[in-house]
A and B are shown apart, each in its own frame.
Chain A
Amino acid sequence: MRLSILVLLLLATAASADERSQPPSQLADLLSADAEGYASAIEPRAFTFPADHGPHPEFRNEWWYVTGNLDSADGRRFGYELTIFRFALAPERPESVSEWRTNQVYIAHLAITDVSAERFLVAQRYGRGALGLAGASARPLRVWIDDWSITEERDGAWRLVADDGEFAIDVSLVPRKPPVLNGDAGLSQKSSDPGNASYYYSITRLETRGRIRIDGEEHNVNGLSWLDREWSTSALADNQVGWDWFALQFSDGSDLMFYGLRLSDGSQDPHSGGTFVTADGIATHLDADDVEITVLATWDSPEGGTYPAQWQVRSNRLGLDVTVTPVLDDQELFTTVRYWEGAVDVSGSRFGEPLSGRGYVELTGYAQ
């Protein structure tokens, strides 16, 4: 009984770390408390793989973020998200004889969009980065909490396993493109403050094959996934309220990542930006004004808050003009902190040629 809310509060605080590049207010308190002692993303660095697939514990936060659109042999469509976050609570692990003592905390989110059934399923896990309960290692890559994991297999494929009982995913991912460095050679500046930046790379196209289980029913699935990797010691700037993040995979083999940072006055932060990756894996950095996004429709969450629910994405530089539509309006996660992360459809044109595609969109800061 009442060993108190303590537990819940503490977990709530930890879990509010759900957000993509910046944690929201409560966690911001935790994370902005003192960046001293941590490494910061100040200038571009040399990335080496596979070492950089592994953890960077000297930075305060880090994540392995995988999303994807899959189809089953019998024609059912699924979207999925499996993310594992790492947070350092202090720069150093306190000295201890106890294996449990740690400064590292891990949180994982699993979400599956069962498009045909119009269901959205979410589960989360927490763990301390100690004793092997949760953790990350580079060679071979393994990031895990309990029995949920992202692991590099012997053949180089990445295997994602997460089972929440009611639903589960077990898929293998084979990269079809090399990692691309976002921002300035992987340094993604989030505001004008030096150090308010992250190291950020993506693998924008991974061939995916495996199984999804929902309510005891197994579905063999295949499709495409997207991996985002980011680590930093930064927090949201005071005047930033949230962001919209797009990860779109087009039918011509090219991919687009773009994030728009929203300011409290409703405008878009000039530090917004993105990356365009051609079918053969050549990456181009995009500035805030290279891409223009217009909201075409909105969705009112039954729990309050209004999210954008359809966009027009245009880029003269890329010759791109597409409409992005969620496959399901309600893909909102109530993992202590609320955010929207969902599978989307893309249709439109590029340089006059018809273009379709699929992708994932993340929306934060629309509901508290």
Chain B
Amino acid sequence: MIPVTYRASFSYLLRHPWQLVLSLLGIVIGVAVIVAVDLANSSARKAFLMSMDAITGEATHQVIGGPNGVPETVYRDLRTREGLINVAPVVEGTVNVDGVPVQLLGIDLFAEQSVRSFTGETTSGEPDDDNSSLFLNFLLQPGAVTTTEQTALDLGIAVGDTFAVSVGGRPQTAALFATFAGDSNLDRVFVTDIATAQEWLDRPGWISRIDVRIADGDTAMLQRLEEALAPGTQLLSAAGRTRSTADMSQAFMTNLTAMSLLALLVGLFLIFNAVNFSVLQRRGLIGVLRALGLTRRQLLAMVLFEAAIVGFVAAVAGVLLGAMLGEQLLELVSRTINDLYFRVNVTAVSVSPFSVAKGLIAGVGAALIAAALPAFEATSYQPRLALTRSVIERRAKNVLPVVTLTGIAGMIAAIALILSSGTSLVAGLTAVFLLILGFALCVPLFVRLSSTLVAPLAARLGGTSARMAIAGIASGLSRTGIAIVALAVALSATIGISVMVDSFRSSVNAWLVQTLRADVYTGTLREGSMDPELIAAIRSIDGVVDMSTRKRATVEDATGRTQLRVFELPPESYSGAELIDADPAVAWMAWENEDAVFVSEPYAYQNGVGAGDRITLPTDHGPRQFAVAATFQSFDINASGLMMSRNTYARHFRDPSVDSLGLYLADGVDVDGVVDDIERLSEGWQQLYISSNAGLRDESLRIFDRTFVITDVLYWLTLGVAFIGILSAMLALQLERAREFATLRALGMTPGQVGGMITAQTGAIGLLSGLAAVPLGIVMAYVLIKVINRRAFGWQIDMTVAPDILAVSVAFAIGAAVLAGLYPAWRAGRSQPAIAMREE
């Protein structure tokens, strides 16, 4: 049974559907963004973990080696000398099928049983499917692969087909000899014989790793294995490796989550706004109910119940919308993860109850928090006073100092938190939120002061109605304040993010200009190494006077993975790396000739090292110490690790491979001509990227921009929330003042004058919001750049504030506010004064 009072409360909402819808929308969008980001993040992570699980099978440990993997003889010796049979070799890589990357998993069938316990069914082979032919194909036919039915479908291949693939840029022929059912975790994976994998990846003699299954607690076996391992190889826990890979993307995901919370925060202001209005508008009803004997507590419960119901309905809608939105977002998230961190193939959003619960709690919680203050306020009036509008404004004025002081305290707390929290990303993000809240609480005072100051000016410019419009903002602060705060917060967030991205981009651009010294760059596309003969042929192209080589390598030990970039550089290109903390002349000497490395800035930050320190790296001969000769500036989001000279690398790793070249041309040599020469040379030999200096810079920036597409999407969503907020605030504000307008109309104002006054007021609200947003936006950008980005990724970005970003934001605020005021203005102008005055 719903008490009659509750029915009164809801019937009010139903009689004002627009207000209801708008207040719902704020929560809907806020919740949707949270849920979408959460789903995208968790789906990407889950997909990665599941596919790793599928691939690792029951392996508990893995034997890994250096950048080239593990010599295959290590595996042989484990079996033949040590008699270990719970080990299985894996050769892993990527093949390209019509531009679609597919993971290649090369296994030894004979060893598999002890490590991966596979079940399931092969669903297709030959029609009369005798498995012996599958067996023969698998082992004997070079290029024979098997995959899931779904993957075959996706790639448009059928059992029996032979098709072209590209591996490390080299053309190869694959044959699909069987497919197997189910398990989407093995989608986009080709399973093949280890020999085929070695042939394709051109890695004879090497395997990627050895999977090992050791029973829980079998420390004897663990020890036996560790003792049997060759130098340069290590035994690591499989789960640990998977986790540390997944964790590489943690900072990125945390930032996304923070941005989604920002959207909800803006949504919070909206609901606060909406509930506040609905309470204000019903002050008559509340007064009557109080007079009829309802207790304060009953009233409070009524308002909160209403908020909870509205919040719940909106949250449910938000979750649904979020699930849909999540699908879109997931594509962006997984693309970025693929660009930056690791291969992940996500086919669908997996809606977890946990994400849904988070969304619902956030929605209802936001509604309750937002409703609490107005509800408490409304119920605290004396029944008679509750009927009076002026009382509320007076009270609003009275609490203003308290609100402002709280805000200042919040901002101080934010600064203190930043200063005291070291490198904690979560603490940094918390500080950002504190800062926003603190600032938001200061906005009402700002509005009051500025509108009081501006009102006389407005009168001189636009007459009485303009003065009334502006003064109305201050006198209706309890209503206008919230709207302005909501818009200002949303705008400041967008300013902060824009300035951050813009600064980042220009830093990256400057860095690229400095780093890219060669005239032409060429190399393998995603992985694999260049054919040495092809390198020699390219080197001897007319006009090429010098060449640098690069190799991207990864070394790993129990502490995680370290990216190495191995360079052979002509000395004149040394200036390409900006060394921050050492004398270049000394540092380069050490780098070339001693066991010394340069560490990238992010690496230095995350590991707390710099010039003069020593670090330990796993090498082919076991762990070795290297001196840090210098820290270099780096915005390389793919491989922010160490820079090592080819000489040093050759001393410690048996790996002569090179994955890209930088070519230096003689003066006056046509760059495009050399690019064409390389294209002709490599055609049909090995597919390479070939790019001029400028081309590579553009390409790098394009990838940079792609990485921030997600940021853009969230940016627009936040603005969307802000716009709805301002619309709902304007609507409610003007509706609430319908009687006032009617009075003005009755006093002789034309509909145009009333409409103009309303428009002027909304425009001024927009302007004030925009102005308030600018300082907060800049402070936020500063914190995002110097605190959040540094803590999340280790980058040192120079902050540049482009004035146009600020101008656009203010213009948007005014535009949005005016737009939002149009309908109320039109309505107010059209209403019949007599009817409107009677309405209450």
Which residues of A are at the interface with B, using a C-beta cutoff of 8 A?
Answer: 1-14, 26-27, 29-30, 33, 89-90, 94, 96-103, 105, 125-128, 130-133, 144, 146-147, 163
Inside 8 A of B181's CB, which chain A residues have their CB? 4
Interface residues on B, range: 35 or more
For the complex formed, measure the closest distance between the CB of A137 and the CB atoms of chain B, giving whole angstroms: 13
Given contacts A2-B54, A2-B186, A125-B85, are A98 and B195 in contact (CB under 8 A)? Answer: yes
Partner of B199, one of A3, A98, A132: A98
Partner of A96, one of B108, B121, B142: B142
> Are A13 and B183 neighbours in the complex by a CB distance under 8 Å?
no
How many Å lie between the Cα of A125 and that of B86 in the bound state?
A: 12
Given contacts A1-B57, A9-B131, A98-B195, are A133 and B80 in contact (CB under 8 A)? Answer: yes
Across the two chains, which residue of chain B brings its CB closest to A144? B80
Which residues of B are at the interface with A, using a C-beta cutoff of 8 A?
Answer: 53-54, 57, 72-73, 76, 79-83, 85, 105, 107-110, 112-113, 116, 118-122, 130-136, 138-142, 146, 178, 180-183, 185-186, 191, 193-196, 198-199, 202, 204-205
Inside 8 A of A101's CB, which chain B residues have their CB? 142, 193, 195, 199
How many Å lie between the Cα of A26 and that of B134 in the bound state?
A: 13
How many Å lie between the Cα of A82 and that of B161 in the bound state?
A: 42
Given contacts A1-B118, A3-B116, are A90 and B136 in contact (CB under 8 A)? Answer: yes
Please give me the 6 A-B residue pairs with the lowest Cβ-Cβ distance, nearest first. A2-B120, A30-B132, A147-B83, A4-B180, A101-B195, A98-B198
Across the two chains, which residue of chain B brings its CB closest to A97? B204
**Residue of A1, A89, A103 with highest tally of chain B CB at under 10 A:** A1
Partner of A13, one of B112, B118, B132: B132
> Are A6 and B83 neighbours in the complex by a CB distance under 8 Å?
no
Inside 8 A of B80's CB, which chain A residues have their CB? 132-133, 144, 146-147
Inside 8 A of B53's CB, which chain A residues have their CB? 1
Partner of B204, one of A5, A99, A125: A99
Given contacts A89-B140, A133-B79, are A99 and B113 in contact (CB under 8 A)? Answer: no
Inside 8 A of B133's CB, which chain A residues have their CB? 30, 33
> Are B193 and A100 neighbours in the complex by a CB distance under 8 Å?
yes
> Are B131 and A99 neighbours in the complex by a CB distance under 8 Å?
no
Across the two chains, which residue of chain A brings its CB closest to B135? A10
How many Å lie between the Cα of A177 and that of B119 in the bound state?
A: 49
How many Å lie between the Cα of A24 and that of B110 in the bound state?
A: 21
> Are B131 and A4 neighbours in the complex by a CB distance under 8 Å?
no
For the complex formed, measure the closest distance between the CB of A296 and the CB atoms of chain B, giving whole angstroms: 38
Inside 8 A of B183's CB, which chain A residues have their CB? 1-2
Inside 8 A of B116's CB, which chain A residues have their CB? 1, 3, 7
For the complex formed, measure the closest distance between the CB of A233 and the CB atoms of chain B, giving whole angstroms: 16
Inside 8 A of A97's CB, which chain B residues have their CB? 198-199, 202, 204
For the complex formed, measure the closest distance between the CB of A261 and the CB atoms of chain B, giving whole angstroms: 23
For the complex formed, measure the closest distance between the CB of A27 and the CB atoms of chain B, giving whole angstroms: 7
**Residue of B76, B80, B194, B205 with highest tally of chain A CB at under 10 A:** B80
Across the two chains, which residue of chain B brings its CB closest to A163? B83
With A13-B132, A30-B132 known, 14 other A-B pairs at CB within 8 A are A1-B186, A5-B119, A7-B116, A9-B131, A26-B131, A97-B198, A98-B194, A98-B195, A101-B193, A125-B85, A131-B73, A132-B73, A146-B80, A147-B82
For the complex formed, measure the closest distance between the CB of B520 and the CB atoms of chain A, giving whole angstroms: 31
Partner of B54, one of A1, A11, A126: A1
> Are B82 and A11 neighbours in the complex by a CB distance under 8 Å?
no
How many Å lie between the Cα of A10 and that of B133 in the bound state?
A: 9
Inside 8 A of B122's CB, which chain A residues have their CB? 4-6, 9
How many Å lie between the Cα of A271 and that of B86 in the bound state?
A: 44
Inside 8 A of A99's CB, which chain B residues have their CB? 72, 204-205
For the complex formed, measure the closest distance between the CB of B75 and the CB atoms of chain A, giving whole angstroms: 8
Inside 8 A of A100's CB, which chain B residues have their CB? 72, 108, 193-195, 198
Given contacts A12-B131, A96-B142, A131-B72, are A4 and B118 in contact (CB under 8 A)? Answer: yes
**Residue of B79, B81, B132, B182 with highest tally of chain A CB at under 10 A:** B132
> Are A146 and B79 neighbours in the complex by a CB distance under 8 Å?
yes
How many Å lie between the Cα of A103 and that of B140 in the bound state?
A: 7
30 contacts between A and B (CB under 8 A): A1-B53, A1-B118, A1-B186, A3-B57, A3-B118, A3-B180, A3-B186, A4-B120, A5-B120, A5-B122, A6-B134, A6-B138, A6-B178, A6-B180, A8-B113, A10-B109, A11-B110, A27-B132, A29-B130, A89-B135, A89-B136, A94-B141, A97-B204, A98-B196, A101-B142, A102-B195, A105-B110, A130-B195, A132-B76, A146-B79
Inside 8 A of B191's CB, which chain A residues have their CB? 3, 6
**Residue of B81, B113, B130, B131 with highest tally of chain A CB at under 10 A:** B131
> Are B135 and A14 neighbours in the complex by a CB distance under 8 Å?
yes
> Are A10 and B138 neighbours in the complex by a CB distance under 8 Å?
yes
Inside 8 A of A6's CB, which chain B residues have their CB? 118, 122, 134, 138, 146, 178, 180, 191
Inside 8 A of A1's CB, which chain B residues have their CB? 53-54, 57, 116, 118-120, 183, 185-186
Given contacts A1-B183, A125-B85, A127-B110, are A10 and B194 in contact (CB under 8 A)? Answer: no
